[in-house]
Structures are given as C-alpha cells and as structure tokens.
A and B are shown apart, each in its own frame.
Chain A
Amino acid sequence: MSVVIAEVAGTPEPPGGSPEVAGAKIAGRSPRALAWARLRRDKVALVSLGFVVFVVLVAIFAHPLSQLIGQSPYKPDRGPNGLSPSGIPVGPSTHHWLGTDDQGRDILSRLMFGAQVSMIVGLAATAIEIAVGVVVGLIAGFYGGKVDSFLSRFMDVVLSFPFLLTALAMSARFGNHLSITIGVIAFFSWSQPGRLVRGQVLALREREFVEAARSLGSSDLRIMFVDILPNLIAPVMVYGTLLIPVNIVAESTLSFLGLGVTIPKASWGQMLSDASGSGLYQVAWWFLVFPGLALLLTTLAFNLLGDGLRDALDPRFDRIGKG
C-alpha cells in the first residue's frame, strides 16, 4: 500500500517538498528504528532470523551441547546402538536421536560440529569478501576513469576463473586447512560485492550531498568513508546476508569433493559425500537426509532473511516522507 502512495499521492508535488505525510508525526524515529519496525512485521523474516540465530548458537556451543547429550562426533559407536551386526548404520533411536553414520558416529553431534564449520567458513569468507569488495568498489566507483577501468577489468577476470578447477589446484598446492578453504572461497566471490558497491558508488557520488561535502573542503578519503560509506551499509548488509549461504554451499561443495574439511572433522558437505559415495543412503536414509536438511534449511533461512532485510531497508520506502 505504501508503494501506492509513492506512486499516486506522491506525484511530485512541486515545487513543494514533503507532503508532510509521515514527516511531522514520525519525528524521532531514525532510519534504523524504522527498518527494525518493518522487519518486526515480517513474520517470515523473523522466523528465518530465529533459525539463523539458532544455528549460530548451536555452532558456538557445539562442544558443550554434544557433551550434554553424551555424544561425540568423532568416537564411533561400534556397539549395537551404533552399527547393526552387519555394519550398517543404525537409524534414529533413543541412543542416537538422528542415527549414526557409516562409522557408527552420532549424526546429531556431527551435525552440530558441521554447523560450526559452516558458520565459520560462511561468516569468515563473507566478511573477507565484503571488506575487500567494499574497498575496491569504493575506489573504483569514486575515482572512475582509468582507475575504474583497471579495477573493473580485474574484477571481471577474477569472476571468470572456474571455481572448482582453481579450488582443486589451490588445495592440491596448499593443502586442506580451514583457512585455505576460507581463502579460496573468498577469492572467488569478493568481486561480486565489489561490483555491487561500485555501481552504488557511481550513483551516490553524483548526489548533491557529496557536492556539498566538496564545497566544504572535504577530502576524497573523507567523502568516501564519512559520506558515501554509510549509504552503502544497507545494500551491503542485504547482499552479505545473501552471500553467506552461497559461501556455506561453496564450502559444502568443496568438502563434498574432498577438498575442504577432511575426515574425521565433520562438515555437512562431507557427510553428504560419505552418504552418497558409499551408497549407504539407500539403506540409511537418515545419513543423507539430515545433513541435507541442515544445509537446505540454513541456506533457505539466510536467503529469506536477506529478502526481509531488503524489504525493511528498501530506500524506496524512505521516500514516503517526501512523496
């Protein structure tokens, strides 16, 4: 409905400015408060946020939690609760709530530790990508000209590297450390936020408040970080939220291929690899389904949260105050 106003009642009433629609009344509410209020009204986003928080908490407290339920992700349970006499994993039971894997290890605790890996990689890689992307995009967009041409072409080149082949090569060269995984993933994706930021900055630098800052004698660096950067927070935050699941899936992919986290450490992708590679999923559905569900639900939650964030932060709605 608000959009209707922006299009209908908000037909530019010039030379006047604000039709004082929400202006005087909503005095005292910062853009942040307004956005939060909008987010609170979005049930789907709230549920997704709850799920994300849940996953993060599980990841943080994976160790004490698994001790709580008396399981370990590494210790195989060779007894009858862990593996059947013929060596096939046992399904969900009172001993192992989500069943066991091919080694008899408890799936639930492995999922929790897998969440740890996913969150660490997802968040760390995203953080690096955003940091690098913002800096490069800011410089490219603000200065334009040759600087921009060079940086843009560079970003294009990075984007054109084939992910898997290069990841393979880099892992072969550098090994399977977690930080290598994070580095590899970040390397491939930083140019995405980079291009986004560059586009935003290109538009923002033409805004009158930037000209005003220049007229006050502000230096380029100051304009970039004090004037332009705050206007980037909203789109970057949304984009970042949508990048996290991409990175999580990337890590799962690498683990699936054996390039990421290795046995016996737990990772959702690696669990999926074990389940499908050994063919055990045909008899032990829980071995495939639970890691798969974990990945699916986490990815879904982040994506829905990102959508909700975008709707809450959408600058279009900011304009209701001015028609």
Chain B
Amino acid sequence: MPLLAVEDLGVSFRTEDGVLHAVRELSFSLEAGATLGIVGESGSGKSVTAQTIMGLTRGASLQGRVLFEGRDLLTLPDRELRRVRGAQIAMIFQDPLSSLHPHYKVGWQIAEMVRAHTGLSRRQAHRRAADLLGLVGIPQPTRRVDDYPHQFSGGMRQRAMIAMALALDPRILVADEPTTALDVTIQAQIIELIGRLQREFDTALIMITHDLGVVAEIADDVLVMYAGRGVEQTDRESLFHAPHHPYTRGLIASIPTSAVRGERLKPIPGQPPSLIDLPSGCSFRPRCAFAFNRCENERPPLHPVGGNSSESAVAEHVSACWLPELEAGAPSRRSSA
C-alpha cells in the first residue's frame, strides 16, 4: 500500500463568475521515502493540491479521496486531522516570511509545535528547537533560537521553516515552491539541504515547483499538471528524455537552456485557459500543435503510453493525450488559437 494515494481528487470553489475547478480528477501515489515532483505553471492546480492534502481547503467542495496510510484525509474529523498535520505530514511554503508568525520568536514557534504533539516540557522543547536550527545549518543556533523572523535572512527563514517541518519526523514533507523567492545561490543550498535531510530522515517528499531544473535535481517521479488536471506522470529520466504529452514537450522546449543562444525560443502559443470555462475535450487543445478531431470531442484520460526504466516508483508512464505511444513523428498540425 503506498504511503499516500490520491484518488480522483477534485477541488472547486464557487466564485462570483461561476464554479472554478482548481483540480479535477487527479490521481497519483507516493511511496515511503520517495520524492515526487509536481510541475505546473500558474493555474495548474498544484498548490491547491498540496493545500488539500494538508486539509487547508476545507471551504471548497472536494471530491475523491486522499488516502494517507489507508485513511481518507478528506473525511477525517478535525481533531484527527490536526494530529496528522505537522506530525505526520508537514508543509513548507514559498514565502517563509508569511508562514512564520512575525510576533513570536522562531524558537518559540518551533517549540510550541513540538509541545503540541509531544509531552516535552517547555525547556526540553526549547532545546529541541535549538538542536533543529543547528540541524538545518543555522550558525549559533542557541543564540538564534530566540530571534524573531525578521532578524533572519530569507534563506535562514526557509531553513527555520524546514526545521519546523521536520521537527516531528513526519512521514511526508510537502514543499510548495520552497525556493522560488530565494536567490539562486541560496536556492542551491536549500535544495541540497532538503535532499540531504530527506534521505537522512527517510521522509517522502512532494516537491511542487514550476522549475524543471529543480525537478531534474531532486525528484524520482514527476507529475505534470495543466489546468487542474494531471497530464503526464513518469519517472524523471523518461520525462526529460521521452516526454509524451505535447504540453510537457512544449514546456521543455520553451526554456532557454533548450535553445541555441541567439536563436528564437520555441514558446507554447496562447495562454492557459480560464478554470471556470474550460475548453471541451482536452484542456490543452487550443494551444496544441498536434491536436486533431478526437481531442475536441473526447477528453483523454491518463493512460499508459510506454515503458519506464525499472527503478521508477510509478508503475508506468502515463499521459493524458490521444497521441499514440511515444510517437515522435509529426502528426497533423493545426494553427493554434
């Protein structure tokens, strides 16, 4: 049984202009200790997925199941969910300044969380907080444990967040764009830190990002999301070397490192669709160079499209596209909207 199994997850919000489908029919699983990268751009639904796993979207209408060790988190009563959150599944957010409370000392925040889930005394928890800060590489942790968040730099705050997340040795760590707001050199530090701690604590990691480079570094398996749906899922190697879904291919082709310097880049034309009013059939169809009749009438489900390397955790390479298996040829092109 996988550690986490998301089955047919749907998350929608009611807005003034209609129902917004942030996530639709999303399914994936995560084994213990593995790393899953969720890649998508804005509007893909990746952050909402993460928040739903943590139970932070209770105001929305939810469908499907999120099974953690066999129990459905979506229907768990609040009290039980609170025990899971933080202790079993922890989350780090993109902006540590807004996730750490500005009025309380960092050490105190970590200690309080530890105490909420364990029976440690205040002093023990405080010492544990200092240990954790040292664990994540903050210099002079016994002194810094009594500092406020604004006294930390961006990179340090993110480290403190990681410390708080790992404080209770959770089984799953969900990282929602943890490095996007950081400088490149700090980003490298944090990615390496997360990777190393993950291996040492044997925590499963869900890394949510828009950056394919981050995914290439740290993920075992990758799920690509577009307009609220999963459109491709496979192991890291296959994703980069044999992508199937035209969106994945387009994404990889559009980044500057794929191009020769000085030549034009190959962007994906158009823009992502409105989540209130999705196109019929395949959501990517209006921007797809390979679309044909079936794409407009039938929405393709995720189905197997080819073999993977054996070390992958995901059973097979799946893609939500009507194109034949890993066809590298040039099917009919149509002018994109």
We find that the number of chain A residues with CB closer than 8 angstroms to chain B is 28
Given A5-B15, A9-B13, A11-B176, decide whether A21 and B274 contact each other with a Cβ distance below 8 A: yes
CB distance from A31 to the nearest CB of B (A): 14
Whether the pair A15, B15 counts as a contact (CB closer than 8 A) is: no
Q: Which of B14, B17, B93, B176 contacts A22 (CB 8 A)?
A: B17
Given A8-B48, A8-B57, decide whether A18 and B42 contact each other with a Cβ distance below 8 A: yes
Whether the pair B273, A24 counts as a contact (CB closer than 8 A) is: yes
Tell me the complex Cα distance, A63–B106, Å.
70
Whether the pair B13, A15 counts as a contact (CB closer than 8 A) is: no
Chain A residues in 8 Å Cβ range of B18: 25
Kindly state whether residue B285 has any CB partner on chain A within 8 Å: no
Whether the pair B274, A1 counts as a contact (CB closer than 8 A) is: no
Whether the pair B274, A9 counts as a contact (CB closer than 8 A) is: no
Chain A residues in 8 Å Cβ range of B57: 8-9
Q: Which of B20, B22, B181, B275 contacts A14 (CB 8 A)?
A: B181
Given A1-B14, A5-B15, A20-B43, decide whether A15 and B20 contact each other with a Cβ distance below 8 A: no
Whether the pair A19, B95 counts as a contact (CB closer than 8 A) is: no
User: Binary interface profile of B, 22-37, with partner A (CB < 8 Å = 1, else 0)?
Assistant: 1000000000000000
User: Binary interface profile of B, 206-241, with partner A (CB < 8 Å = 1, else 0)?
Assistant: 000010000000000000000000000000000000
Tell me the complex Cα distance, A17–B41, Å.
9
Given A4-B13, A4-B59, A13-B42, decide whether A23 and B48 contact each other with a Cβ distance below 8 A: no
Whether the pair A320, B15 counts as a contact (CB closer than 8 A) is: yes
Chain A residues in 8 Å Cβ range of B94: 11-12, 14
User: Binary interface profile of B, 41-85, with partner A (CB < 8 Å = 1, else 0)?
Assistant: 111000110010000110110000000000000000000000000
Contacts across chains A and B counted by CB atoms under 8 Å:
92
We find that the number of chain B residues with CB closer than 8 angstroms to chain A is 33
For the residues of A in contact with B, the DSSP-based class is loop
A27 to B, closest residue via Cβ: B274
User: Binary interface profile of A, 16-52, with partner B (CB < 8 Å = 1, else 0)?
Assistant: 1111111111100000000001100100000000000
**A and B contact pairs by CB, cutoff 8 A, 27 listed:** A1-B15, A4-B13, A4-B60, A5-B20, A8-B48, A9-B48, A11-B51, A11-B176, A13-B42, A13-B43, A13-B177, A14-B42, A14-B94, A14-B180, A14-B181, A16-B41, A16-B210, A17-B42, A18-B42, A18-B43, A19-B275, A21-B15, A21-B275, A22-B15, A22-B276, A320-B16, A323-B42
Q: Which residues of B contact A (CB under 8 A)?
A: 13-18, 20, 22, 41-43, 47-48, 51, 56-57, 59-60, 93-95, 176-177, 180-181, 210, 271-277
